[in-house]
Amino acid sequence: MDSPLLPLYMQLADRMARSVRAGTLKRGDRLPSVRELASQHGVSLSTAVQAYRWLEDARLIEARPRSGYFVAARPPRLPEPQVSRPDTASRMVQLDQLGAQVMALSHDPDFVSFGAACPGPELFDQDRVRRAMARAVMRHRDLLCTYPIGPGMEETRRAVARHALGLGCVLNPDQVVMTNSALEAISLCLRTVCKPGDVVALESPTYYGFLEILQSLHLRALEIPTHPRHGMSLDALQLAFETQQVKAVLSVPTLSNPLGACMPVPERRRLAAMLSRHDVALVEDVLYNDLAEQEDKRRAVKSFDTTGHVMICGSFSKTIAPGLRMGWVEAGRWGPTLRQMKAVQSGAQTSVLELALADLLTQAGGGAALRNLRATIATRVDQARQLIAESFPKGTRVSDPAGGFILWVELPESLDAAQLYEACLAENIVIAPGLMFSASPRFRHCVRLGVGGKWGPEHPRALRRIGSLAKALLATPRDGELAA
C-alpha cells in the first residue's frame, strides 16, 4: 500500500523497490527510461528522475553510462523495516534501567556485544591520534597547567568550521562553541530553546541517548513517522507544526540511529524552510554525516538555513577518536544564549585535547583514515546482513543503511525482543531491544545491532545464535497460548 505521508516520487520508488525485492524485477533487468517511467505512471519527468535517484541511493538499481537504468547486482536479501506509525500525541519520557544495563554490559569483555553504537579502537588510526596528542602537549608546554576559558581554542573552532564546509555549511568560527561531546551540545541546545513541558519532535525509533536527555530536561517527546531509508516524514512533521506547539525538532538527518535513514537533499531544503516559516528550532545532529557512503548525504540541513533556525551539533566520537570526547555546536540565532549557558554549565574543555583535535582535522591523512573506516564497516554490515538473512526467522526485516555500523532488525511481531535479550544474555551475548528506542512501548519485536565494535570469529557465530534463539522463542508457545 502506498503511504500518503510520502511524496509522490518516494511512493513510486517504494513501489519499484517492492518489485525488485519480490523478484518481479530481476538482477540486471533493464528498466524503463525516465521518460517511459513518467508516462507509465502518469508523473512528471522530475518525479521519475527523483524516484530513480532514490532507488540508486538505496542500491537497488544502477545507472550504466549511455545504457540506462538496471536492477542492481546485489539486491538486499531481506525486506526493509516498515515506515513507523507512532502516536500523534506527545508524551513525557519515563525510561527504566534497560538502556543503562545494555550499555554497561556492552563494555563488559565477557560478553559478545552488539549492544552499543560504538566503533572499536582498532577501527581508528590510533597512531595518528597518539601523534597529534603528543604534538599538542609538546608544542604548547604550558597548556596543561593553564586554566582554559571561553568557547574553545580559536585554532580548533577554525578547524571545525573548515570541517563543516564538507557538510555544505559556511560557519563563522567565532560562532562555534566547543563542547565535551555531541550529547553535551544537544543538551545545551534543548536547554536554550525549551522549558520543562515543551514538545520536542524526533524520529521514530530514535536514539536512546536523546530520550535520556528529554527525560532529564522534563521535555515531551513527539515521535514522527519515519521511513527506514528516507528518515522523518516532513508531511507528518508539517501536520504536527500545524496542530501542536512543537518547540524544537531533534533529528539525525544523515544515518539516523537506529534506522540508518538519510533524508533526501530536497527534503533537507524543505525542512529548513518549514522551520523558519513556523519559527521552530532544529537541533541537527551531524555525528554520522562523514560515514555516509554518498557525498550528497553528508550535506547538512544547516547548509539550507538562512534564518538561523538550525542548531548544528557534531562530534568526532564515531569518526576520529571516541576517547577525545570532543563535540561542537553552532547555535544559529540562539548562539549568544547557548554560549552563556555553556560557560555556566561546564566552562571550557581541556585545551590540549582541543589542539590535538585541530591537528587531526587539518593534518594530511584524515581523508584516507575515513575512507578506510567506511570501507571496513561497510564490509562488516554486508556480512552481518548476510548472516541475518541466513539465520533469522522468516518474516525478519532489516535496514540497509547507506553507511555507519548500526542495523535495525524487525522480527516477526509475535516475538518479544525483551525475551530474546534475556535469552542472549544467558549466552553472554548483548543486543539492544527495540523498547529502548521509543518513549512509548513500541518496537517490542525489534532489536538494534551495532556491528562497529570489537569483531572476531565469535561475532558471526553469535549473530547466527541470535537467529536460532529467536526461532526457538517463536516456536515456544507463550503462557496465554498454553492455557488456551
Ligand X SMILES: Cc1ncc(COP(=O)(O)O)c(C=O)c1O
Q: Interface with ligand X by CB under 6 A: which residues?
A: 117, 181-183, 207, 209, 252, 257, 285, 287, 315, 317, 327
CA pair distance 361, 163, nearest whole angstrom: 7
For residue 44, the minimal CB distance to ligand X (Å) is 35
For residue 376, the minimal CB distance to ligand X (Å) is 18
Q: Is beta strand 199-203 parallel, antiparallel or unpaired with respect to 220-224?
A: parallel
Q: Which three cell numbers stand for residue 58?
A: 538505496
For residue 185, the minimal CB distance to ligand X (Å) is 8
For residue 179, the minimal CB distance to ligand X (Å) is 8
For residue 99, the minimal CB distance to ligand X (Å) is 12
Half-sphere exposure of 291 (CA within 13 A, CB side): 34
CA pair distance 172, 305, nearest whole angstrom: 14
* DSSP type of residue 478: P
Q: Which is nearer to ligand X, 231 or 327 (CB)?
A: 327
CA pair distance 364, 48, nearest whole angstrom: 41
Q: Which is nearer to ligand X, 117 or 310 (CB)?
A: 117
Q: Which is nearer to ligand X, 207 or 392 (CB)?
A: 207
CA pair distance 310, 330, nearest whole angstrom: 8
Q: List Cβ neighbours of 266 (8 Å cut-off, separation of 6 or more).
A: 50
Q: Cα-flanking dihedrals φ and ψ of residue 183, to 5°?
A: -60, -40
For residue 160, the minimal CB distance to ligand X (Å) is 13
Q: Which is nearer to ligand X, 47 or 438 (CB)?
A: 438
Q: Which is nearer to ligand X, 60 or 211 (CB)?
A: 211
CA distances from 156 to 266, 338, 352, 363, 418 (A): 31, 18, 10, 13, 43
Q: Which is nearer to ligand X, 12 or 255 (CB)?
A: 255
For residue 77, the minimal CB distance to ligand X (Å) is 26
CA pair distance 484, 480, nearest whole angstrom: 6
Q: Which is nearer to ligand X, 47 or 181 (CB)?
A: 181
What is the DSSP annotation of 166-200?
Answer: TTT----GGGEEEES-HHHHHHHHHHHH--TT-EE
